[in-house]
């Protein structure tokens, strides 16, 4: 007997792929009801959609299963991307599964260790660029144009097609209900665009009759989308030196900015920034109140929710879904820096008792 877990391909009829998918059983992630965290934040009903439980530990796998399947369908010979880390890990694993070479460009020194490890071990050609993510993305676009490599950043529409299944699953897991809010981190702004598309498709198909208010959260040091929403501007002003502990979303010039601004405005959502301290506190709360281990960027969703509830923007009676986009073990160094060291003791029961029962 073969057990097939639910995956992105459950929604195959709504995905633009005709051939055999390149799949490692992505999607089908849990939607946790988080009552302890809800109480601390002050909302009635809070759920966390934990995308850290995908094969490579981030939501990127949903986009890559569709994107790499399309690359194969189109007969492309090489796939490539720029990445703050997770996209490169995901491209590496799906490239490996499909048996085609993957090239990834990373901003030197600004990618969490777990992500680099994945890209290397799964056999991608890993280039460390002396520059930031925005520069790496501009370069990989040129490389792909020149060499006819298949670009798999979220400019690629098939990436977003895969990621829209997060929206489908949330509706399914809530018993065909739509939450009042979906709160998530925003970097290159593909995921908020994709999830919103998913909710809109379900509404068009009359599976649901509404969409949630989309709320995008960015780190204070890398927040062009939030600035545009707050100022009412048509388009973003790129930031040339983005900086945050949440390296996954250390992005100054998001390629999907226009679509993300539209998703937020059309859904009557909002956008907010959080400081590094606020997001680390939220990371701790998720870990210690709910047993959900996430990387710093993912914790911005919960940090942002707390801020928006405090400000009265999100009401206590609302049903909220926070999307946590990546797993805790992606960035072990940040965790080690944020937590106390293990307590070193002699190998005697007395020494252990002295620590367990301090005087
Ligand atoms: N959370 C995590 C953990 C991410 O890795 C990313 C993006 C985001 C949130 C933001 O998603 O870009 O669709 O708005 N990481 C990309 C990468 C940029 O290269 O891995 P977005």
Chain segment 64-102, per-residue pLDDT in tens = 999 999 999 999 999 999 999 999 999 999 999 999 999
The Cα 105–Cα 127 span in angstroms is 5
Consult the annotation and say whether 189 binds a ligand: yes
Residue nearest to atom 4 of ligand 1 (CA): 248
Cα–Cα distance for residue pair 43/39, rounded to 1 Å: 6
C-alpha 249/C-alpha 107 separation (Å) is 12
Q: What is the dihedral of CA 270, 276, 280, 283, to 10 degrees?
A: 30
* Domain ranges across the chain: 8-57+159-338, 60-155
Q: Is the pLDDT of residue 1 over 90?
A: no
Torsion sign over Cα 338, 344, 349, 351? negative
Asked if 8-57+159-338 and 60-155 have one fold, the answer is yes
Record the pTM: 0.97
Write the CB contacts of 255 (distance below 8 Å, at least 6 apart in sequence): 137, 153, 154, 155, 188, 189, 190
Kindly state if the Cβ of 190 falls inside 6 Å of ligand 1.
yes
In a mutational test of the pocket of ligand 1, which residue from 29, 185, 263 has the highest number of ligand atoms less than 8 Å from its CB? 185
Question: 302 near 287, Cβ under 8 Å?
Answer: no
Mutate to test the pocket of ligand 1, among 91, 191, 259 (most ligand atoms within 8 A of CB): 191
Question: How many A from CA of 121 to the centre of ligand 1?
Answer: 21
Which of 352, 318, 339, 344 is closest to 42 using CA atoms?
A: 318
> Quick check: CB of 58 below 6 Å from ligand 1?
yes
Q: Ligand 1 pocket, 84 CB below 6 A?
A: yes
Q: What digits encode the pLDDT tens for the residues 106-147?
A: 999 999 999 999 999 999 999 999 999 999 999 999 999 999
Contact 163, 190 (CB under 8 A): yes
Nearest in space to 300 (alpha carbons), one of 235, 222, 237, 236:
222
Residue 204 has pLDDT above 90, yes or no: yes
Establish whether residue 189 lines the binding site of ligand 1, counting it when its CB lies within 6 angstroms of any ligand atom. yes
With residue 222 as reference, give the H or E element that holds it. Answer: none
Q: Is the pLDDT of residue 208 over 80?
A: yes
CA distances from 294 to 130, 221, 330 (A): 28, 20, 8
Binding site membership of 297 for ligand 1 (Cβ less than 6 Å):
yes
Summarised one tens digit per residue, pLDDT across range 142-163 is 999 999 999 999 999 999 999 9
pLDDT in tens, 299-348: 999 999 999 999 999 999 999 999 999 999 999 999 999 999 999 999 99
**What separation in Å is there between the alpha carbon of 286 and the centre of ligand 1?**
19
Predicted local distance difference test score (pLDDT) of residue 5: 83
Residue nearest to atom 3 of ligand 1 (CA): 326
Is 262 annotated in a binding site? The answer is no
85 C-beta closer than 6 A to ligand 1: yes
What is the average pLDDT across 201-211?
98
Q: Which tokens sit at 260?
A: 């993300």
Strand 181-185 and strand 319-324: pairing? parallel
Q: Is-contact 61 330, C-beta < 8 A? A: no
Torsion of CA 321, 299, 167, 32, to 10 degrees: -50
Report the DSSP pairing between strands 45-50 and 31-33. Answer: antiparallel
Query: What does the block give as tokens for 154?
Result: 């979220």
Place of tokens 């901003």: 107
pLDDT score recorded for residue 223: 98
> How many percent of the chain have pLDDT more than 70?
100
Instruction: Tell me the per-residue pLDDT of 170-195, one tens digit each, with 9 for 90 and over.
Output: 999 999 999 999 999 999 999 999 99
- Would you say the CB of residue 87 lies under 6 angstroms from ligand 1? yes
- CA-proximal residue: ligand 1, atom 8 (nearest): 187
Nearest CA, atom 6, ligand 1: 248
- Rounded to the nearest integer, the mean pLDDT of the chain is 97
**Residue 20 annotated as binding?**
no
CATH of 8-57+159-338, one of 3.40.50.1100, 3.40.50.620, 1.25.40.340, 3.40.50.2000: 3.40.50.1100
Class of domain 60-155: alpha beta
From ligand 1's centre to the CA of 32, what distance in Å? 21
> Binding site annotation covers 190?
yes
Q: Cβ(276)–Cβ(303) under 8 Å?
A: no
In angstroms, the Cα distances linking 226 to 198, 221, 271, 307 are 22, 11, 5, 14
User: What span, in angstroms and rounded, lies between the C-alpha atoms of 194 and 216?
Assistant: 13
Q: What residues does 185 pair with on adjacent strands?
A: 217
Q: Is the ipTM of this complex over 0.85?
A: yes
Q: How confident is the model at residue 222 (pLDDT cuts 50, 70, 90)?
A: very high
- Six-digit token string for 226: 């939030």
């Amino acid at each position: 007997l073969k057990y097939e877990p639910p995956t992105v391909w459950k929604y195959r009829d709504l995905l633009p792929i005709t051939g055999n998918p390149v799949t490692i059983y992505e999607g089908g992630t849990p939607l946790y009801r988080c009552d302890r965290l809800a109480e601390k934040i002050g909302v009635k009903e809070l759920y966390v959609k934990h995308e850290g439980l995908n094969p490579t530990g981030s939501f990127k796998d949903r986009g890559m299963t569709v994107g790499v399947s399309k690359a194969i369908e189109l007969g492309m010979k090489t796939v490539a991307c720029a990445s703050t880390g997770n996209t490169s890990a995901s491209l590496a694993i799906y490239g490996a599964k499909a048996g085609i070479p993957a090239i990834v460009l990373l901003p030197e020194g600004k990618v969490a260790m777990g992500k680099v490890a994945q890209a290397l071990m799964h056999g991608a050609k890993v280039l460390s660029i002396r520059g930031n993510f925005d520069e790496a993305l501009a370069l990989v676009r040129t490389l792909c144009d020149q060499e006819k490599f298949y670009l798999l950043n979220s400019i690629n529409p098939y990436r977003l097609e895969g990621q829209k299944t997060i929206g489908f699953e949330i509706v399914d897991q809530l018993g065909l209900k739509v939450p009042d809010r979906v709160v998530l981190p925003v970097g290159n702004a593909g995921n908020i665009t994709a999830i919103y598309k998913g909710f809109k498709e379900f509404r068009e198909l009359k599976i649901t009759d509404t969409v949630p208010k989309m709320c995008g959260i960015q780190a204070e040091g890398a927040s062009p989308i939030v600035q545009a929403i707050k100022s009412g501007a048509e388009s973003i002003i790129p930031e040339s030196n983005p900086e945050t502990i949440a390296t996954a979303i250390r992005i100054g010039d998001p390629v999907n900015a226009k679509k993300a601004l539209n998703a937020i405005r059309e859904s009557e959502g909002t956008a907010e920034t959080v400081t590094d301290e606020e997001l680390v506190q939220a990371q701790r709360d998720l870990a210690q109140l709910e047993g959900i281990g996430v990387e710093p960027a993912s914790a911005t969703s919960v940090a942002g929710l707390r801020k928006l509830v405090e400000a009265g923007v999100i009401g206590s009676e609302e049903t909220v879904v926070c999307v946590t986009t990546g797993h805790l073990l992606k960035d072990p160094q940040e965790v080690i820096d944020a937590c106390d060291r293990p307590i070193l003791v002699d190998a005697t029961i007395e020494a252990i008792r002295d620590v367990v029962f301090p005087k």
